[in-house]
Amino acid sequence: MNSPKLIYSIYENRLQKLITKEDLPKHIGLIHDGHRRYARKEGLLSYEVSYKIGMERLKDCLLWCDEAGIGHVTSWLLSRENLARPNEELGPYFEVLNELFEELIIDDVVDNFKITFIGSTDLLPQKLQETIERLKEVRGGGQKSLTIALGYGGRQEILDAIKSLIDENRNNENDFDALLENVTDDQLRQHLYSPESPDIDLIIRTSGESRLSGFLLWQSAYSEVIFQDVYWPEFRKIDFLRCLREYTQRERRFGQ
């Protein structure tokens, strides 16, 4: 009788053969949902345990993306709205994030990635901000990019971009009509948090929730979205490969 591990390996290899590398997304967005529900389902002693499992899964997923040749990954680890949660809930999560970022400073899983952050990181605990700065300094190069969204809100990003664009043009033009002419797609894009990143081709959200919750609203206008039923700590390589297979089978219409 074949073991589950052997069957898993055979299925994984089959999935990889069905995926054409030329058709793969250049930029993947990850919404890591379901940590707390996973903890309740598994009867874990605390949410912190599921957070730690989820962070290990993130490192796994970065390795899968690297192996597949995905050049850009955006990982949404904390929304701006989440910052309003009670300290007793946020505290353990901040500790897990700090551990993750300290690991990424030395972990070879991100050797090929330049790591940047977007969102209101100034609202995070000082210890976490300091670790973020060290991580950005150490991981400031790489052929691929990993963008980590922390304290991020899609509406806030667009508001900040509009304000920044208007302020820039106001310094150059006193004429209101001339200022409005400079408010274009290309100009606004330059004032987004990550202007160098291409639009997102594929968004993967786990836990079965079928919504984007404000994730990169501007950059995801024409994204393909796949909602996975598994909780993020349970997300496996075959789940990832299924998402890639489904993406390559879709006909992208870009709003047409």
Given the residues 60, 82, 112, 199, select the one marked as catalytic.
82
Which of 243, 252, 251, 202 shows the shortest CA–CA distance to 18?
243
Catalytic site includes residue 169:
no
Q: DSSP H helical segments within the chain, as ranges?
A: 4-18, 35-42, 47-68, 87-106, 126-138, 154-172, 176-181, 185-189, 237-249
Structure tokens at 246: 């489904």
Phi/psi region, residue 207 (left: phi>0; alpha: psi -120 to 50; beta: rest), is left
Q: In 3-state terms, what secondary structure has residue 190? A: coil
Angle, alpha carbons 218-219-222 (nearest 5°): 100
Given the residues 33, 66, 98, 201, select the one marked as catalytic.
33
Structure tokens at 16: 């990889």
Catalytic site includes residue 33:
yes
26 and 71 in contact (C-beta within 8 Å)?
A: yes
Starting at the earlier edge strand, list the strands of the sheet with 224-227: 113-118, 144-152, 72-79, 27-31, 202-205, 224-227
Residues with catalytic function: 33, 82
